[in-house]
Amino acid sequence: MPAEKHATPLALRIALLALFTVAFVRGIGLVLHAPLLGLANNYDQIRFSMCLDLAPHRPGVRADAGNAPAPLRLYSFQSISDSCYWTSDLLLTAPLSWAWRVSEHFSGPPVHSIRKLGVLRVLVWCLVGAWAARAWMKAGSPTAALASLAALAFVVFDPANSLYFNSFYAEPAAVLGLYLCFASVPLALMRPGRGAYFAVLLGACLLATSKIQHVALPALLGFAVLVITCGNARTLALLLCVGSVVGATAAAVNRHQSAGLMDGIATTNRGDFVLGPLLLNVDDPKETAARLGVSEACAAYASPAGVYRVPAPFERTCSGIKELSDARARLALLMQPVALARAFAQMPDKMLPWIPDYLGLVEGEEHGSLPSSQPSLSQWFGTGAATATFLMCLPWLILLGALRLRASPAARAYLAMCAVASIGVPMVALFGDGYFEFAKHSHLAFSCVLASLCLVIAWAACRWLPPRDEARTGGAS
């Protein structure tokens, strides 16, 4: 990464070990906390656990019913609809579910704790973080090694991310894929090799197949890397684009095998977009609705809540939504620059809090909040639009500073990916599901912001630690 004076081996080892310890303690402390801490169950994770025939163990309650007030700890295999959404997170959850089935076959208990999945996620993350730090040390960049472990301790294991560990949500796979991309792309620029290239491809595929909204994100990262390196990273850009192609293929397979489920999701998302960013920002909502073939009565229900404010079934009140094509709906906003600018200007006001406040976090409580023993940056960020605006600008300011200081190509590529992803994620969320659950759908953006800040802090720490030569001579001249 940037040109740097290597810290003394002892000081560096202490710093790396301290960061790794903090990361492990934070991660394992949250997933093993009693009562259970996690993000409450809603439809987003139900459609993923359906693939495993797993549902919360609640005798007498429908298997696919959500539970917004609190997370649920116990799961069991149940007869569930065949409709499910494949995600790269199944690479971790499927083997665990198979282990549970084998356990039951040998007279094990039929009810299973989600904590086991949380612990497994923490262990996998610690292995990935240790790999990244070791790879960067071998590449001769203590700054990058410190940054990778700082990101593990203070970004990945911040409850805003780790609350998803005790659940079947797909966000953990998205964060893991992003982390691998951020770690391996600059590493491949410094030390090209099959291992680094494989990590880039793996990260891109994990990210693109985690959730449909992230399909294009690896390609966007590839574009950023290609531009910032002046076209000198074509192989890396290609690998990132391959990840997006794999993601698009997986999305097509999902749509084919679960046509009813996917059509319903697409119609709901389209309705959320039309009733949110589109009709809330155009000059004449009724005229716009009529031009799209949507009933004028639908315009009266325009709100950030999307279709969930419309009397059910919303397709009856908003007739024409189901027949409206996704492309035509999105183009209606893109073709009106003033309305588009208004829609973008609304984003910061809806991006916080980082941890959703409408889903409970504590088992057995009604919309319980995090205990004081589990601090999160989400509490510092608050809910203000000014804070969100500053955070969205921060990676770009850091990138400009790196360019001014003539940072290495690896550092520039890393910071460019952070900056582009931090704004790309909320923009995709805007055109995907509108303003509905916008903060949750944009949550990956703040991980990108903090990842860029981790590199700056690591760079400053390496400059503060005594240089190797000075350490050997005791500072004598």
User: Which of 112-121, 165-174, 316-325, 414-423 is the least confident region?
Assistant: 316-325
DSSP tag of 294: -
CA quadruple 415, 26, 136, 243: dihedral sign = negative
Q: 153 and 248: one domain?
A: yes
112-113 β-sheet, strand order: 54-56, 74-77, 112-113
Q: 183 and 293: one domain?
A: no
Q: 443 and 315: one domain?
A: no
Q: 278 and 192: one domain?
A: no
Write the pLDDT tens digit of every residue in 70-92: 999 999 999 877 678 899 999 99
Write the pLDDT tens digit of every residue in 343-390: 999 999 999 999 999 999 999 999 999 999 999 999 999 999 999 999
Domain boundary pick from 316, 336, 356 = 336
Taking the CA atoms of residue 53, residue 58, residue 64 and residue 67 in that order, the dihedral angle to the nearest 10 degrees is: -130
pLDDT of residue 179: 99
Q: 27 and 151: one domain?
A: yes
Mean pLDDT across the chain, nearest whole number?
A: 93
pTM of the predicted structure, to 2 decimals: 0.94
**Bigger pLDDT: 69 vs 264:** 69
pLDDT of residue 475: 40
pLDDT of residue 125: 99
pLDDT of residue 462: 86
pLDDT of residue 313: 87
**Bigger pLDDT: 43 vs 118:** 118
pLDDT of residue 471: 41
Domain range for 54: 43-116
Phi, psi of 434, deg, nearest 5: 65, -145
What gap in Å lies between CA 64 and CA 80, rounded to an integer? 7
Domain boundary pick from 65, 98, 116 = 116
What gap in Å lies between CA 176 and CA 317, rounded to an integer? 41
Number of compact structural domains in the chain:
3
**Bigger pLDDT: 59 vs 259:** 59
Binned at pLDDT 50, 70 and 90, residue 283 comes out as: very high
Q: 17 and 80: one domain?
A: no
Write the pLDDT tens digit of every residue in 165-218: 999 999 999 999 999 999 999 999 999 999 999 999 999 999 999 999 999 999
